[in-house]
């Protein structure tokens, strides 16, 4: 399918690795100038190092992106971290978690709002199953992702008159280098991975980053021109189907 995105410019926060890097790769395959915004350097071209929690640095970087590539037609709010800020921690830690996982998303969209309106652009927010299932021990991250889902619906309404769409993609158990690193600290990483995968109804496997990227590319594209305000789970049924299910 031709997603009709050739020549567009899209920003991907947290695009240096994991899901973000896969999104950048998927967009580039469609002829998009995919621009990574990340604290970490990215191996691919079109990457800019910036602290997304610093509004002045973001504004300056966006100006540079416009100069280098032209007006911005798409934004993917992917950057964030499940930082384990739990209920017993200080309020200041909770506020910092919201800053890293929610407030910076608001700031990035605000910084490119005029571009999105002029390009009839699109926003895709990357959430987490945690916003609806809870996880335990991660109040800041859960609250931030819940807030981002609320903003998905709010922005879809705010921007409908400008023909700017806003949707969200929700991963659950996605195989990334970060996930592999997490499992490596378990006494038996392979056994733990098998236990997790057994709870995923569709295929008893983890979601691949390319599968998240494919949905994001579709939602950014004109092919999904009448889709907005949607929260789409790409998770093999993990969040909504009975995880006690066993195949056969």
Q: Which one from 48, 131, 141, 238 is the annotated catalytic residue?
A: 141
C-alpha–C-alpha distance, residues 161 and 19, integer Å: 31
Q: Measure the CA dihedral 1/149/108/142, to 10°.
A: -120
Two tokens, residue 72: 């911005």
Q: What are phi and psi of 28, to 5 degrees?
A: -65, -35
Range 8-37 burial, b when 16+ CB lie within 10 A, else e:
bbbbbbbbbbbbbbbbbbbbeebebbbbbb
141 is known as an active-site residue: yes
3-state helix, strand, coil in the chain (%, to 5): 45, 15, 40
Q: What are phi and psi of 167, to 5 degrees?
A: -135, 170
Name 32's Cβ contacts closer than 8 Å, sequence gap at least 6.
5, 6, 7, 8, 9, 10, 74
C-alpha–C-alpha distance, residues 140 and 100, integer Å: 10
C-alpha–C-alpha distance, residues 99 and 205, integer Å: 33
Name 111's Cβ contacts closer than 8 Å, sequence gap at least 6.
55, 58, 59, 62
Q: Which residues are catalytic?
A: 141
């Amino acid at each position: 399918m031709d997603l009709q995105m050739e020549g567009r410019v899209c920003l991907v926060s947290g695009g240096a690795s994991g899901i973000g890097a896969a999104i950048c790769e998927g967009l580039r395959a469609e002829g998009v100038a995919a621009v990574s915004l990340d604290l970490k350097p990215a191996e691919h071209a079109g990457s800019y190092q910036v602290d997304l929690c610093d509004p002045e640095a973001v504004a300056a970087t966006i100006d540079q992106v416009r100069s280098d590539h032209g007006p911005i037609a798409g934004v993917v709010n992917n950057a964030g971290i499940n930082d384990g800020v739990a209920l017993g921690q200080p309020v200041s830690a909770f506020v910092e978690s919201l800053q890293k996982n929610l407030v910076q998303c608001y700031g990035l969209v605000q910084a490119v709002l005029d571009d999105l309106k002029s390009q009839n652009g699109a926003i895709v927010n990357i959430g987490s199953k945690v916003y609806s299932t809870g996880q335990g021990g991660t109040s800041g991250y859960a609250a931030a992702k819940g807030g981002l889902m609320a903003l998905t619906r709010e922005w879809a309404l705010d921007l409908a008159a400008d023909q700017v769409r806003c949707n969200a993609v929700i991963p659950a158990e996605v195989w990334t280098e970060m996930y592999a690193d997490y499992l490596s600290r378990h006494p038996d990483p392979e056994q733990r991975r098998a236990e997790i995968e057994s709870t995923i109804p569709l295929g008893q496997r983890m979601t691949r980053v390319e599968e998240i990227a494919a949905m994001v590319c579709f939602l950014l594209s004109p092919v999904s021109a009448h889709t907005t305000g949607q929260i789409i789970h790409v998770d093999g049924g993990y969040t909504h189907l009975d995880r006690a299910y066993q195949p056969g």
